[in-house]
């Protein structure tokens, strides 16, 4: 798949400055209209990439509120799209907050296994950290690893996924969150891919999701703005190009950058 890209300089000239936005991209000018995500493209690679990371700076801290917020980097692993798994080989790593607390989640749909850095514990919503496989009977299957993590607004974090073990039975991918200010790296867990899957594809998405008891909701919630830098692959050697903004899940209140 070849994705069209827009050079950052051209995009800045097109959009101008002083716009209102919900999602910000630090390497680009402000975007309009409000959006909940952006699609990025790395150069095509026959073998795929061994790592992907992004720097995110949450601009709101929804503690003790009756809804959830997720700031995430979404990726996909190269492999045959045979329809065996719903959502195929996609996954994400993200900063999460909801009434159960703050945490970092690492998920790969269709994965074979998952292990945590400290203990093997089912992700049943009672104990963190946890890591296991899941099957919700609606076609969503895969592996997940979750840790408690007290992330803060107006503080930068790096979200990273990397291949750590090549295995004929399925490569193992590890996720790490790094507090940029303190340089503290925290392992989230490892997830085993299917044996036919290869490296990371050229596509990446940065996005946030805000939701309540009945799904995606925005009414009555504060502006969940976040800024993302362009994702990078192979440990910073390759930088993704911005492709497009994604449509907002619902009409979020714009935030002025003037």
Per-residue pLDDT of the chain (258 residues; tens, 9 = 90+): 333 333 332 222 222 222 223 344 444 434 444 456 888 999 988 889 999 999 999 887 766 667 788 899 999 998 765 544 445 678 999 999 888 889 999 999 989 999 998 766 888 888 899 999 988 766 678 999 999 999 998 999 999 999 999 999 999 999 999 999 999 999 999 999 999 898 999 999 998 877 766 455 554 445 556 888 899 999 999 999 888 877 555 444 443 333
- DSSP structure string for 29-85: ---SS--SEEEEEPPP-SS-BSEEEEEEEES---TT-SSEEEEEEEEEB-----SSS
pTM: 0.80
Cα angle 157, 130, 51; round to 5: 45
């Amino acid at each position: 798949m070849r994705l069209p890209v827009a050079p950052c300089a051209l995009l800045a000239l097109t959009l101008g400055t002083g716009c209102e936005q919900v999602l910000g991209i630090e390497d680009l000018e402000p975007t309009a209209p409000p959006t909940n995500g952006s699609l990025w493209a790395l150069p095509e690679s026959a073998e795929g990439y061994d790592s992907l990371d992004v720097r995110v700076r949450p601009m709101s801290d929804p503690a003790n509120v009756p809804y959830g917020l997720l700031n995430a980097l979404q990726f996909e692993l190269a492999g045959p799209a045979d329809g065996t798994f719903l959502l195929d080989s996609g996954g994400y790593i993200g900063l999460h907050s909801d009434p159960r607390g703050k945490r970092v989640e690492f998920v790969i749909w269709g994965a074979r296994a998952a292990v945590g850095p400290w203990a093997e514990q089912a992700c049943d919503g009672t104990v963190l950290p946890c890591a296991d496989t899941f099957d919700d009977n609606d076609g969503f299957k895969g592996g997940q690893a979750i840790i408690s993590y007290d992330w803060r607004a107006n503080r930068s974090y790096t979200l990273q996924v990397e291949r750590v073990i090549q295995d004929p039975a399925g490569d193992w991918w590890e996720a790490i969150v790094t507090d940029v200010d303190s340089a503290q790296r925290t392992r989230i867990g490892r997830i085993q891919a299917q044996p036919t899957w290869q490296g990371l594809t050229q596509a990446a998405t940065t996005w946030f999701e805000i939701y309540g008891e009945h799904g995606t909701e925005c009414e009555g919630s504060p502006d969940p703005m976040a800024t993302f830098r362009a994702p990078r692959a192979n440990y910073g050697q390759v930088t993704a190009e911005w492709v497009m903004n994604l449509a907002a899940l619902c009409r979020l209140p714009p935030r002025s950058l003037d």
